[in-house]
Structure 1
Amino acid sequence: MTLIPGETQPGFTELFAQLGLPNDEASIAQFIRQHAPLADDVLLHEAPFWSPQQAQMLKEEIRLDDDWAIVVDQLNAALRGKPRLEKI
């Protein structure tokens, strides 16, 4: 997913929408609480709670290393219990 020029950096709200998950702040926080901590030896896209389509999307965004990779990395850190510097 490439951003259209002039669009702002996507955040968790937009990522969760792209993943087909509830994307309000409370639902995102609940998802992270429910699935964290993700073991260090499990790649984000290999976590058992993703559908095949969700896993593929996450893997592809990291591979592309575009604007979406930043928020995928932030989700990865959040699921591993690492503190974030930004608000969800």
Structure 2
Amino acid sequence: MITTEPRMTNLFLQLGLDASDAAIARFIVDHQLPAEVALVEAPFWNDGQRQFLAEQLKSDADWAIIVDELGEALHADAVAQQTGA
């Protein structure tokens, strides 16, 4: 059971990634996904990370909001390209 407050930095810690602001920003820039690739299907996750993300989305609890935010951030370029923004 996760008892830490759902924030992007804590999500990155749960995923075993560098949780500094700069590292999170760099991760998002470096790992943009095409629109058709779901967050949990991204090739850069290991099995444990993928399972964690899928469980959080399925639970639809507080962590699901942060995972959704990460998914939106990782799809930002694809959305901008589709909308011409």
User: Mind listing any 5+ residue stretches in structure 1 that lack a counterpart?
Assistant: 84-88
State whether residues 2 and 68 of structure 1, in contact with CA within 8 Å, keep that contact through their aligned partners in structure 2.
no
Counterpart among 62, 75, 78 of residue 73 in structure 2: 78
Per residue, is there more helix in 1 or in 2? 2
1:28 matched to 2:38? The reply is: no
The aligned length equals 78
1:69 positional shift: 0.1
| C-alpha distance in 2 between matches for 1:32 and 1:43 | 15
1:52 matched to 2:47? The reply is: yes
Q: Which aligned segments of 4 or more residues in structure 1 are displaced greater than 3 angstroms? A: none
Q: What percentage of aligned pairs have identical amino acids?
A: 47
User: Mind listing any 5+ residue stretches in structure 2 that lack a counterpart?
Assistant: 81-85
Q: Residue deviations 1:18-77, cap 9 Å, x none? A: 0000001000001001001x1111110110000010000000100000000000000000
Q: Give the superposed CA RMSD.
A: 1.8
